[in-house]
Structure 1
Amino acid sequence: MFNKKILLPHQYYYPHMDLIEDKSSIRKEEDFFRSLDISKKRKNASVYIHIPFCDSKCEFCGFDKVKNTSEMEKYKDIVIEEIKFYANKNYIQDLEIDVIHIGGGTPTILPPKIFNEILGAAKKYFNITDNLVVNIEGSATTIYKDEVIEYIKENSISKVSVGVQTFNFRLREKYKSKATLDEVYLTLNKLKNNKIKTGIDIMYGFPDFKIGDISEITFNDINEAVKLDIDAIDFGQLYPYCNNLEKRIKDENLKMPSKDQIVNIIKTVNGIMKDNGYEQKASYGYTKKNSDIMVMESSYYGGIKDVPDCIAIGSGAFGFINGYKYRNNSYNAYIMNRKTKFSQLKKLSNIQLQNLNVVGFPKILYLSKKQLRINGSERYDYKIKKLLEYGMLEESLDGFNITEEGKCFIDNIYYYLLEDEEREKINRQTKILYID
């Protein structure tokens, strides 16, 4: 069905925010904030807090980051003011926050006092549930420190995600990863010894740096993660654009893996995960079976009934509240407290809200028939039929599951489900990786 495998930008979430059409303005923001003065039905939601400070700039990273840590105190104050601003809105007060995710950047680079103040403000001012889950990301250059382990335990952090990417020394050199392998193992052992649930990122699909077979390096990484008894593994494909690697790939004429190589890697890794007691909870998220670790995919991609809102706090963060999608200003504009809070702001149409409840389902691997029926099944019946015919989906009594073959083409299926106008827009304004 798909002659080429595609990889969409990691920061693409339906619908795309047009660079010009959806540029934020004071008037747009006034309308958005006015809509938050009105109470609505209670629903679950998540909070994402972005910490841009980082002590390294890995070659593959394209997120909003800053090395200058001298403005941490100022940034913290702006973040807390932003939390208070939203928390005062009637609409937000009706949201029940069951997940807080602190990402970056490197959140664990924050001094304990600043970290505690930010998380404390979120817990104090938002309406949090009794079963609140708090996840944080961090680097092996910082997590192993005693003061960091201490505030992780004091705050009852549910899961710590460590950006490992690879256990291969030579590949880490190519990525320019700052953390040494000694620091990686020290960090993972310290977390385990302190009974802190741990997740790691493993990345595949990297260019051929002439350091060994790319498939074998990836399989060794996964087997090492399994051997270390990691609680959750995010297995994501490298996006070779909008980062430092893009220029290197072009200048050094580095060869990217083929479609057959990528498909073989995905199928083999899925088998390794299954054989070792992990279950796939999202397109790239694996956890130990029967674990209570949550995956935040639906907050961004949708694909479920009543897609939960995500209150995005901090520079460059993406949010979705009350039918509006937004992206906060990048660091320099954010720290200057400009009149407009967002770089982009988009009010979704009723059709887009319906589509959001469907098109993101490949990312969470399942779509219920009821969900499809109440969100315009006539727009999707033909495409669902074709996906079934080509073995990308399998039908059950209540819904549709992504097959093992379909799991190799998640972004293809996602892209296929989009309306023509949306596909044309992302073709024009983003870089899609096509793999032969």
Structure 2
Amino acid sequence: MSDVTRDSENYYLGDSPSRPVPFDGVMTVSHYIMPNFATMDWHQVAREQVVENIKSLQDPGGNLNDRIMMYIHVPYCKSFCHYCNFNRFHYPKQDSERLEKYTDYLIKEIDWYMRQPYVQAREFTGIYIGGGSPSTLPVSAVERLSEHLRKVVPNFDSIEKSFTGEPRTLRRPGLLEVLKDHGWDRVTFGIETLNEKIHRKIGRLDTRDDVDAVFNRMRDIGYTADTCVDMMYDLPGQTLEGFQAELTELLDCYDPTEIDLFTTIYLPYRPLHKMIMDGRVEQPGSPWQLLAMREHLYDRLSGAGYHNTIAETWSKRPERSVYQTAHCARQDIIGVGCAARGNLRDMVSINPEKVDDWQRNVDEQGASTETLQSIGYEGVLDRVMVMFPRYKSLDKELLADFAAEVDEDTFARVRAVLDGHLASGVIDDEGDRFTVNKLGVIWHGNLQTDYLRHTLNTKGEVLMNHLTESRQDFDNEDRFAVTTETVYIKEHDAEYPRLMK
């Protein structure tokens, strides 16, 4: 595949950009720290109120959305990647019996939700099984779960169904056949990097043979589901030229239906951050290189016929997936499984992080959630606006609906951020909606942060400051110098493991 000729302005391939830089720093993390909303101090909510909120799902009304989907979380992994910030448990410590039991409890929690009048009154649009690595479940468990979902979920055969995994376990005999037979139409898995040296440094133990085996097996059995792969950039030791070569190789060798491209997030004192601080792994390049990578992937994939459906996602299909739409606060989400999250009405739910606690809650109350909490219209507006730069589109009619429900000061704050983004050229006014343009996609983390910042509690502020690359440091190759925030987080490490899970 030949190189793509740029059909748009060159913004950031060096330290002398062709137009003013719209922000004073690069934010590499954004909506992932939403648990630090000041309005979401979960453990301050009385248990009695959570129970009452659970019971409220017996009322079919009060909805903000007509549609609903289900997210099912499987936390188990065969091994840990050094960059991972999400809730997961080490697979070798779990035998097949425990994984089958985990599946039993998934089914119990699914059944509880499917009996609730609130859920039954909504249009069911999709199922997403994520993790962790759901492909670590026994093939028999995946088959049993799929068969049960087909029985209890309305229109199972016609809704979108996504199953995630990792190449080593996705290639196991029989698994792809089970997914094909039960109509899972999106298979998503991480490749992260095609550079074998970097691949090992970030703790990935799968091989190119594993990736090849997944694609080859799907082709051999006539499994035509969308293939959705994750890739990362701004990795340790990764150069712009190396990243460009990886993208070309990915398209030439695999031609996936969809590609999620994520900036590497160096959360303080997680394994990859520690390895760099200790000098065991080299640093990523400068912030200028990070911005250049973002612009390159935008131009390269646009030229290859991919659509930028949400900020980090490129698809051969022009429409967003159901999961992307729901995750960007445009549908309700039922969260099932250990550490799963969901949104119902104006309530946000987080399930227990430990499997034993999750199972106990399922036994005692049906739904495992320990934090079902109303955030009100103001909180829902915050969520919609924080996710707008990812979703890339905001209907003015939706914005007007919120303006009628929240107080003037709240809406004025949102409008001020929106107007600032219009003035800096990162979003466009298209009459009936606002949209995020190419420049805004390159800086989407900053756009999200502008909407997020006022909601942060103290821990969120400290983390935000730690993860900001200041404008004066865009040339700096030493991005891991110890800051005041880094020291503070280390001294208060007990407070921070919950972040990013």
State whether residues 140 and 184 of structure 1, in contact with CA within 8 Å, keep that contact through their aligned partners in structure 2. Answer: yes
- Contact 1:83 1:121 (8 Å CA) reproduced: no
Query: Partner letter of residue 3 of structure 1?
Result: D
Q: 2:429 aligns with which of 395, 404, 411?
A: 395
Seen in structure 2, the aligned counterparts of structure 1 residues 295 and 214 have a Cα distance that, compared at 3 Å, is farther
Change (3 A) 1:89 1:130: same
Q: Is the CA contact 1:258–1:435 (under 8 Å) kept in the aligned structure 2?
A: no
Deviates more, 1:247-256 or 1:131-140: 247-256
Pick from 225, 247, 258: which aligns with 1:232? 258
Partner of 1:200: 229
Identity of aligned residues (%): 21
Is the contact made by 2:31 and 2:448 (CA closer than 8 Å) also made in structure 1? no
1:69 alignment counterpart: 94
Q: Are 2:358 and 1:329 aligned? A: no
Alignment of structure 1 residues 306-345 onto 2, 5 Å: 307-334=330-357, 336-338=359-361, 341-345=368-372
Give the residue type in structure 2 aligned to 1:281. T
Change over 3 Å in CA distance of 1:43–1:80 after alignment to 2: same
Task: Look up the equivalent residue of 1:127 and give its one-letter code.
Answer: P
Give yes or no for the alignment of 1:156 onto 2:179: no
Letter in 2 for 1:322: R
Q: 1:12 to 1:333 in 2, by over 3 A?
A: farther
Are 2:245 and 1:220 aligned? yes
For structure 2, the 5+ residue unaligned runs are 1-21, 404-410, 471-501
In structure 2, relative to structure 1, the CA distance for the partners of 1:163 and 1:412 (3 Å cut) is same
Q: 1:277 to 1:429 in 2, by over 3 A?
A: closer
Structure 2 residue aligned with 1:34: 55
**Deviation readout 1:38-76 (Å, 9 max, x if unpaired):** 012682111111111211111111222222232112111
SS of residue in 2 equivalent to 1:50: strand
Give the conservation status (yes or no) of the 8 Å contact 2:36–2:460. no
Partner of 1:285: 313
- Residues 70, 127 of structure 2: 8 Å contact kept: yes
Alpha-carbon separation, structure 2, partners of 1:431 and 1:125: 46
Which structure dedicates a bigger proportion of its chain to helix?
Answer: 2
How do residues 238-257 of structure 1 correspond to structure 2 at under 5 angstroms? 238-241=264-267, 243-252=270-279, 254-257=282-285
The reply on whether 1:417 has 2:482 as its aligned counterpart is no
The count of aligned residue pairs is 427
Separation in 1, partners of 2:391, 2:81: 28
Q: Secondary structure at the match of 1:58?
A: coil
Q: Kindly tell me: are residues 422 and 238 of structure 1, through their superposed partners in 2, closer, same or farther at Cα, counting changes over 3 Å?
A: same
Q: How high is the TM-score relative to the length of structure 2? A: 0.79
Deviations 1:84-108 (A, max 9, x none): 1111211111122211001112112
Three-state SS of the structure 1 residue aligned to 2:69 is: strand
Distance in 1 (alpha carbons) for counterparts of 2:282 and 2:203: 16
- Determine the structure 1 residue equivalent to 2:75: 52
Q: 1:295 to 1:256 in 2, by over 3 A?
A: farther
- Tell me the residue number matched to 2:32: 11
Kindly provide the CA deviation profile for residues 345-388 of structure 1, in whole angstroms up to 9, marking residues without a partner as x. Answer: 43112222233333321011111222222222544333222211
Read off the aligned partner of 1:370 and give its amino acid letter. Answer: E
Provide, for residues 208-257 of structure 1, a one-character-per-residue CA deviation record: whole Å limited to 9, x for no partner.
3xxxx522222222212211211000001111116311211221184333
Determine if contact 1:48/1:312 at 8 Å carries over to the other structure. yes
Amino acid at match of 2:420: K
The one-letter amino acid of 2:208's match is L
Runs of at least 5 residues in structure 1 that lack an aligned partner in the other structure? none
Deviation at 1:11, TM superposition (A): 3.2
Deviation at 1:146, TM superposition (A): 3.2
**Partners of 1:36 and 1:322 within 8 A in 2:** no
* Pairing of 1:257-268 with structure 2 (within 5 A): 257-268=285-296
Q: Choose 234-243 or 124-133, whichever is displaced more.
A: 124-133
The equivalent position to 1:384 in structure 2, one of 418, 422, 444, is 418
| 8 Å CA contact 1:52, 1:65 repeated in 2 | yes
Distance 1:295 1:272 in 2: 25
- Partners of 2:60 and 2:312 in 1: CA distance: 35
User: Which structure dedicates a bigger proportion of its chain to strand?
Assistant: 1
Structure 2 counterparts to residues 127-206 of structure 1, below 5 A: 127-128=154-155, 131-193=158-220, 194=222, 195-206=224-235
Contact 1:232-1:285 at 8 Å conserved across structures = yes
- In structure 2, relative to structure 1, the CA distance for the partners of 1:294 and 1:20 (3 Å cut) is closer
Q: 2:316, 2:356 → 1: CA distance?
A: 41
Worse overlay, 373-382 or 81-90: 373-382
Do 1:358 and 1:375's aligned partners in 2 also have CA atoms closer than 8 Å? no
**Partner Cα distance (2:31, 2:218) in 1:** 28
Question: CA 1:431/1:144 → structure 2, altered by over 3 Å: closer, same or farther?
Answer: farther
d(CA) in 2 for partners of 1:333, 1:416: 38
Mapped to 2, the partners of 1:301 and 1:15 lie a distance apart of: 17
Code of the residue aligned with 1:113 in structure 2: it is S
Per-residue deviation at 1:35? 1.2
| Cα contact 2:69–2:127 (8 A) shared by 1 | yes
Alpha-carbon deviation of 1:32?
A: 1.3
**Cα separation, 2, equivalents of 1:43 and 1:129:** 18
How far residue 410 of structure 1 moved from its aligned partner, in angstroms, is 0.8
Stretch moving more, 223-232 or 247-256: 247-256
Distance across 2 between alignment mates of 1:387 and 1:137: 35
Per mean C-alpha deviation after superposition, the further-off stretch among 63-72 and 4-13 is: 4-13
Query: Paired residue for 1:351?
Result: 378
Pairwise CA distance, 1:15: 7.5
Residue type of the alignment partner of 1:226: L
Output the aligned Cα RMSD: 2.5
Letter in 2 for 1:215: L
Specify the SS of the correspondent of 1:281: strand
- Please tell me the residue identity of whatever aligns with 1:222: L
Name the amino acid aligned to 1:218. Answer: F
Partner residue of 2:440 out of 395, 406, 414: 406
